Every structure is written in structure tokens, then in C-alpha cells.
Structure 1
Amino acid sequence: MKILNNERNLKRLILVIYFAVAMVEIIAELFLYKPFLFVFKPLISIVLMVLYWNTSNQKNPLFFFAIFFSLITNMFFIYDTETMLFLGLIAFFIHRLLIIYYIIKLIELKDYIPLFIAMIPFLFFFFYLLSITTGLTTRSNGILIIQNILISIIAGITLSDFIMNNSKKNTTWFFIFGLLSITQYFIVFIEKYYLSDLSPISFRPLAIILNASVYFAFYKFVLAMERSNDN
């Protein structure tokens, strides 16, 4: 009994640290204080991996690889140079692919037709945004096309799984993850290409809040699926 209490207390402590790190990152982003960003941006991914290590019975390497590439992405995005931004987008592309592959394995997706149908409205929406966005370079345009497809896949998987399996308890965290992922992508897109002058004041902290929430929801979904598969 004492061991169980110690494990629960450790989990609560790590959770508190996770959200405390997210809060410090929000403040650092709000004031653009880069020394703190260099510490706390990668730290939030590290704390999440520690949390998963202490709560998961399976400790799937895919989880660690996916979150590690999120860490790499966040580090590259701190710099303002075009080269670092491009490297960050490559890391983010690998991260997205790992997330999609991991989700497909967890939910044991076999019928892809509902996924493709559910993707269609998201593809139309994000490509419409892309079509009305001006001043994009050829490289930026190509990157956004790939990102639009990847977020549409995540949205399609989320929506189709929620409709087909809405009686299962573990779909709740998956739906929250998908909804937050779409919102985060939309906010970052609007911030980057339409409201860049306002982003340091409002949109960047909001994007960080969504980022921390996205990965916490993903962690909860992974745990729920692992426990469901064990049972």
C-alpha cells in the first residue's frame, strides 16, 4: 500500500512539474526571454517522457521517439534564422509521421475508407487558407502543403474513430487530442501569416498552452489505449 501511495505521489509531482514548466515557458515566450526558452522548451518534452516512463507498463519506444522529435522541433524554432526554421520543420515532419503511425498502431486501424472521407473537409479548409495566403516562397508553400495533409490525416483519424467507436471510453482523450491539434495548427497558421505583429502578446502564449495540452492529451490517450489493450 505504501509503495502504491509513493507511486501516486511521484506521478502527481511529475504532473505538477509538467504544468509548472509549461507556465514558465508561457511567461518566457510572452516576454521573449530566450535564456529561459532554451531551458524550458525542451524540458517540457523531457518531463512528459519521464511521466510516461513512470506510469506506463509498456513503455513503447514509439512514444519516446515521437516526443523526442517534438523536443528537437521546439529547439530549432527558438532561433529566428531560415536554416533553423527549415530544420525544425523537417523534425516536425518526422514527429507528425511518428504520431500518425503510432496512433494507427494503437487503434489498430484496418478500414481506411472512413479516414479518407473524414479527411476531405479538413483538406478543403486548410488548402483554402493556403490559397488565400500571399507572399509565400516556393519552399514555404511546399512545406505548408505537406503540413496541411498531415494535420488533415490526424483530424480524419480522430473524427472517423470518434464516430465509429464513440462508445469506448478511450476515444475521449483521442478526440480531445485531435481537436486541440487542429486548433493549435490553425492558431499557429494565423499567427505566422496574418497576425505576426500581435503574436508575441497573445498568440504565442496561446500556442504554448495548446501545445502542452495537446501532448498531455496524447499521453492520456496512449495510456488509455495501452490499458485497454492489456485488458
Structure 2
Amino acid sequence: MKNSSPKSVAEKILLVLYCVVAAIEIIAESFAYKPLVYVFKPLIPFVLMSLYWVASNKKNLLFFVVVTLAMITDFFFISNKEPMLFLGLLFLFINRMLLIYYINELAKIKDYIPLLIATIPFLFIFFYLLSISSVFTLRTYYIVIIQNILMSILAGIILAHYMVLYNKNSTWLYIFGLISVVQYLIVFLERYYLAGISPLAFRPLAMTLNTGVYFSFYKYIRANEKVKQ
């Protein structure tokens, strides 16, 4: 029987821990039990960063910055209070900017015409939802406009890369993009369009998608690093 290296064992333990933490967080969201949510929601990206630290030989600093910003964003979004949501949107703005830069650096897109074409449908969808929502404060409204643009660009980059420059690594990037868009739509509907009347299933569904976003992003980064090695 082939012996597993300590590094391989540590990876497996952290992967199982990630799944356990994610499952507890999804259950906590299902019952809206905030004490557990405040503990386990930030633990998901923390465990993922630990997994990346153990698994990766490169240990790209930008990965840790992007995931840490996402962790802070998730923490602020736990609350339904407008000031906390506003802070969450601010950190999400910074996160999206860095994420677009990071993925564009890895994807190495040189032709921006497919990117522009791929971005337009997402702009229509997100701004249509914005136009039929009416619970924004003025400052939140402008930040959401910027978020819609950034999310559309991110989705456009991923779709354009998948369609034009498809390779094995693109699969995880496409999965990451698909889950990110669906999660963004779910959270947008819950927070702004169906505020106060959103189905109870929205929170655990959004959290399940959030877990998938983190993990697919990690897998894409690792797949990209393995190719370069």
C-alpha cells in the first residue's frame, strides 16, 4: 500500500474540515441561528486559506488578500442592518476589483471584443433587477450600480475566456463564474427585491452557493499553478 505524505494527509484533513464547517454553516443558516453563523461563516474561507497554504508551493499573496476580503464581506452581510450592508458592499467592491485583476492576469485575455460582448447580457440582467428594486438608500444605490458593473465584467471575462480560450483549467473557472452569478442573483433578490418576504430557503441556498464559489475559485487557482509548475 502506498504511504501518503504528511502534506497529502494534511490536505485531506483540511478538505474534510472544510466540508464539515460548510455543512454546519448551511444548517445554521437554515435555522437562522446567528451565534453559529457568526462563528462558522468566517471559518469557511479561513479553512480554505489553510488548505491553500498547505497544498500550494507558490502561495500567491493575492489569493490570501482576495479570500480575506471575501471573508470580511461575508461577515458584514450576516446582519440585515443597512450600515453593516453598506460596509459589506464597500469590501465587496474592493474584492471584486482585485478578483477581476487576479483572474485577468491568470486568464491572459488579449482580445477584449469577446469580453465586451459577453459582458452586455449580464449588464442587462443586473440593471433590470436594480430598476425594479426600491429599498436602497442613496449611497447604497450607487455602490450597487458599481457592483453590477464589476460583476458583469467578471462574468464577461470568465465567459469570454471559456468560449475563446477553452482549456482544462477553464472548467473550474467556468464553474466559479456560473456559481458566482447565481449566488449574486440570489443575494440581490433576497436583500433588495424580496426584502422582508424572501423565502426561508434563500439563505441556506445562498450559503451553499457561497461555499461552492470559494472552493471552485481555490480549484481554479491550484489547477493554474499545477500547469505552470
Please indicate, yes or no, whether the TM-score normalized by the shorter chain is above 0.5: yes
Which TM-score applies when normalising by structure 1? 0.93
Letter in 2 for 1:160: A
Give the paired residue count.
228
After superposition, residues 159-170 of structure 1 pair within 5 angstroms as 159-166=159-166, 168-170=167-169
- Secondary structure of the equivalent of 2:64? helix
After superposition, residues 4-43 of structure 1 pair within 5 angstroms as 4-43=4-43
| Deviation for aligned residue 1:98 | 1.3
Q: Aligned in 2, Cα 1:134/1:198: closer, same or farther, shift over 3 Å?
A: closer
Deviations 1:64-107 (A, max 9, x none): 00000111112222233322221111111111111111101111
| Deviation for aligned residue 1:198 | 5.0
Deviations 1:143-180 (A, max 9, x none): 221111111011101110011122x1000000000000
**Is 1:117 the equivalent of 2:117?**
yes
CA distance in 1: counterparts of 2:69 and 2:16, whole angstroms: 23
Q: Aligned in 2, Cα 1:193/1:82: closer, same or farther, shift over 3 Å?
A: closer
| Gapped regions of structure 2 (runs ≥ 5) | none
**Is 1:195 the equivalent of 2:186?**
no
CA distance in 2: counterparts of 1:216 and 1:12, whole angstroms: 14
After superposition, residues 106-185 of structure 1 pair within 5 angstroms as 106-166=106-166, 168-185=167-184
| Deviation for aligned residue 1:186 | 0.7
**Is 1:49 the equivalent of 2:72?**
no
More divergent stretch after superposition (31-40 vs 157-166):
31-40
| Gapped regions of structure 1 (runs ≥ 5) | none
Counterpart in 2 of 1:226? 225
- Secondary structure of the equivalent of 2:5? helix
| Deviation for aligned residue 1:117 | 1.6
Counterpart in 2 of 1:64? 64
- Secondary structure of the equivalent of 1:110? coil
More divergent stretch after superposition (90-99 vs 76-85):
76-85
Counterpart in 2 of 1:103? 103
CA distance in 2: counterparts of 1:94 and 1:82, whole angstroms: 19
| Deviation for aligned residue 1:200 | 6.4
CA distance in 1: counterparts of 2:47 and 2:36, whole angstroms: 16
| Contact kept? 1:30, 1:200, Cα under 8 Å | no
More divergent stretch after superposition (189-198 vs 217-226):
189-198
CA distance in 1: counterparts of 2:27 and 2:19, whole angstroms: 12
| Deviation for aligned residue 1:35 | 1.5
CA distance in 2: counterparts of 1:128 and 1:35, whole angstroms: 35
Letter in 2 for 1:184: Q
| Contact kept? 2:28, 2:36, Cα under 8 Å | yes
Q: Aligned in 2, Cα 1:134/1:86: closer, same or farther, shift over 3 Å?
A: closer
4+ residue segments displaced more than 6 Å: none
CA distance in 1: counterparts of 2:185 and 2:58, whole angstroms: 33
**Is 1:74 the equivalent of 2:78?**
no
Q: Aligned in 2, Cα 1:200/1:44: closer, same or farther, shift over 3 Å?
A: farther
| Deviation for aligned residue 1:32 | 1.9
Letter in 1 for 2:175: I
Root mean square deviation of aligned Cα: 1.6
